[in-house]
């Protein structure tokens, strides 16, 4: 694997291998010196043209735990304001020695363009591009689910037969798209829940069920409910009558959380809008995996950086 651009290009074998590698890297946390020399003398550039906190910091932490040299570039306040292009910026950073470029961009396809335009010889990791893909988020979500469900027996297995409801602003969500591909690949059954106005075009061809009735989906007792943020910054128009109306029908409220089966896990990729798509009771409950997802993101990104830096060679 030279690049990681989306979950739709992964094979099941590659996906399980990444999750297994992440499980091995998680053991670093228990060591007296929680750092490995695997990427010593390798430079990782975090090229963030879009605001981010947890993803950028998670990639930084992952690279540093592998002993890589890390350069972080943020579009705001850079030469981009003087008209410098994506190509020139990336090539400038590669000239400084970058071997792996982690890119986050508001335009769908930006990571693919960097990887395949011939501009760079570096490996490219997509840290989120427009409404297209966010593959490391989907991998950390799958990793978290696998760990919660199977624990010490998680290595080598997928998510066959696990039922997951992904709820909210699916239309604008790269997290949802990446999760649909990956969860289906790993054998899970996915149901998307959204207002009809926030269901993506072409959903009929996706390997999922779709429902606009959240309570009906909850009554079926899914193994996990993944709540999505309403992405107002990507909206060009009105998609629902009011925030109050959206919350009434699509939020994981205290009442809906109380009615969930005991085994149902609560997930959210963050950042959360508490009181809009999720209640604090649900977000802070023992069944919530939200902080686990943040922690596990470091192990998953260590696995991804390690694999792409080796150009697909296995350990």
Pairing of strands 163-167, 189-193: parallel
The answer to whether 270 is a known ligand-binding residue is yes
User: At residue 315, does pLDDT exceed 50?
Assistant: no
Q: What is the mean pLDDT of residues 3-17?
A: 97
The answer to whether 212 is a known ligand-binding residue is no
CA-CA distances (angstroms) from residue 63 to 47, 57, 122, 199?
14, 10, 15, 36
User: At residue 101, does pLDDT exceed 70?
Assistant: yes
Whole-number average pLDDT of the chain: 91
pLDDT band at 230 (very low <50, low <70, confident <90, very high): confident
pLDDT of res. 80? 59
Domain count, the chain: 2
Portion of the chain with pLDDT greater than 70, in percent: 94
> Taking phi first (over 0 means left), then psi (-120 to 50 degrees means alpha), and beta for anything else, what does residue 311 get?
left
How far apart, in Å, do the first and last CA atoms of the chain sit? 13
Residue 204 CB: number of other CB atoms within 10 A?
Answer: 8
The answer to whether 161 is a known ligand-binding residue is no
pLDDT of res. 222? 98
pLDDT of res. 85? 82
Contact 158, 142 (CB under 8 A): no
pLDDT of res. 240? 73
User: At residue 147, does pLDDT exceed 90?
Assistant: yes
pLDDT of res. 313? 47
Q: What is the 3-state secondary structure (H, E, C) of the chain?
A: CCCECCHHHCCHHHHHHHHHHHHHHHHHHHCCCCCCCCCCCCEEEEEECCCCCHHHHHHHHHHHHCCCEEEEEECCCCHHHHCCCHHHHHHHHHHCCEEEEEEEECCCCHHHHHHHCCCCCCEEEEEEECCCECHHHHHHHHHHHHHHHHHHHCCCCCCCCCEEEEECCCCCCHHHHHHHHHHHHCCCEEEEECCHHHCCCCHHHCCCEEECCHHHHHHCCCCEEEECCCCHHHCCCCCCCCHHHHHHHHCECHHHHHHCCCCCEEECCCCCCECCCECHHHHCCCCECHHHHHHHHHHHHHHHHHHHHCCCCCC
Same domain? 273 vs 156 = yes
pLDDT band at 37 (very low <50, low <70, confident <90, very high): very high
pLDDT band at 79 (very low <50, low <70, confident <90, very high): low
pLDDT band at 308 (very low <50, low <70, confident <90, very high): very high
Same domain? 182 vs 50 = no
Pairing of strands 43-48, 69-74: parallel
pLDDT of res. 41? 94
Q: What is the mean pLDDT of residues 207-222?
A: 97
Q: Which of 81, 10, 53 is nearest to 297 (CA)?
A: 53
Contact 253, 130 (CB under 8 A): no
pLDDT of res. 87? 86
Same domain? 262 vs 221 = yes
Which pLDDT tens digit goes with each residue over 125-146?
999 999 999 999 999 999 999 9
The answer to whether 82 is a known ligand-binding residue is yes
At residue 213, φ and ψ (nearest 5 deg) are -110, 100
Peptide bond into 271 cis (omega under 30): yes
Same domain? 123 vs 246 = no
pLDDT of res. 76? 67
User: At residue 235, does pLDDT exceed 60?
Assistant: no
pLDDT of res. 232? 65
User: At residue 314, does pLDDT exceed 50?
Assistant: no
pLDDT band at 32 (very low <50, low <70, confident <90, very high): confident
Same domain? 246 vs 177 = yes
Same domain? 139 vs 284 = yes
Same domain? 129 vs 139 = no
Same domain? 57 vs 198 = no
The answer to whether 83 is a known ligand-binding residue is no
The answer to whether 174 is a known ligand-binding residue is yes
Q: Which of 148, 298, 158, 156 is nearest to 226 (CA)?
A: 148
pLDDT of res. 99? 93
pLDDT of res. 239? 73
The tokens describing 240, both together, are: 């629902």
pLDDT of res. 236? 59
State the residue range of the domain holding 277: 135-289
Same domain? 222 vs 94 = no
Who wins on pLDDT, 189 or 85?
189
Lowest mean pLDDT, pick from 9-13, 92-96, 210-214: 92-96
User: At residue 312, does pLDDT exceed 70?
Assistant: no
| Contacts of residue 228, Cβ cutoff 8 Å, sequence gap at least 6 | 166, 167, 168, 169, 170, 173, 175, 176, 268, 269, 277
The answer to whether 229 is a known ligand-binding residue is yes
Same domain? 85 vs 171 = no
Angstrom distance (rounded) from CA 131 to CA 146: 26
Same domain? 180 vs 58 = no
Burial 228-242 (b: 16+ CB within 10 A, else e): bbbbeeeeeeebbee
User: At residue 73, does pLDDT exceed 90?
Assistant: no
pLDDT of res. 247? 92
Same domain? 115 vs 173 = no
The answer to whether 137 is a known ligand-binding residue is yes
Which pLDDT tens digit goes with each residue over 240-276?
767 888 899 999 999 999 999 999 999 999 889 899 9
CATH code for the domain in which residue 31 is found: 3.40.50.1370
């Amino acid at each position: 694997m030279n690049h990681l651009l989306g979950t739709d290009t992964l094979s099941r074998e590659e996906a399980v291998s990444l999750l297994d590698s992440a499980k091995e890297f998680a053991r670093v946390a228990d060591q007296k010196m929680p750092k490995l020399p695997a990427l010593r003398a390798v430079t990782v550039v975090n090229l963030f043209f879009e605001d981010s906190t947890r993803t950028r910091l998670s990639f930084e932490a992952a690279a540093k735990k592998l002993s890589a040299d890390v350069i972080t570039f943020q579009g705001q306040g850079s030469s981009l304001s003087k008209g410098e292009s994506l190509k020139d910026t990336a090539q400038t950073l590669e000239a400084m020695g970058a071997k792996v470029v982690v890119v986050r961009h508001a335009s769908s396809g930006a990571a693919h363009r960097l990887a395949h335009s011939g501009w760079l010889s570096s490996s490219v990791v997509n840290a989120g591009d427009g409404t297209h893909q966010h593959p490391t988020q989907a991998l950390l979500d799958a990793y978290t689910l696998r760990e919660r469900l199977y624990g010490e027996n998680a290595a080598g297995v997928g998510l066959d037969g696990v039922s997951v409801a992904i709820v909210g602003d699916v239309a604008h969500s790269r997290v949802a798209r990446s999760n649909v591909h990956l969860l289906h690949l790993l054998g899970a059954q996915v149901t998307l829940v959204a207002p009809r106005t926030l269901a993506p075009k072409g959903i009929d061809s996706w390997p999922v069920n779709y429902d606009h009735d959240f309570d009906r989906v909850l009554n079926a007792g899914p193994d996990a409910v993944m709540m999505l943020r309403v992405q107002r910054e990507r909206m060009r128009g009105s998609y629902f009558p009011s925030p109050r109306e959206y919350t009434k029908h699509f939020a994981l409220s205290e009442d809906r959380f109380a009615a969930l089966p005991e085994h149902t896990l609560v997930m959210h990729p963050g950042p959360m809008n508490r009181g809009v798509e999720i209640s604090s009771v649900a977000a802070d409950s023992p069944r919530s995996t939200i902080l686990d997802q943040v922690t596990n993101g470091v192990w998953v990104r260590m696995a991804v950086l390690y694999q792409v830096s080796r150009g697909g060679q296995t350990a």
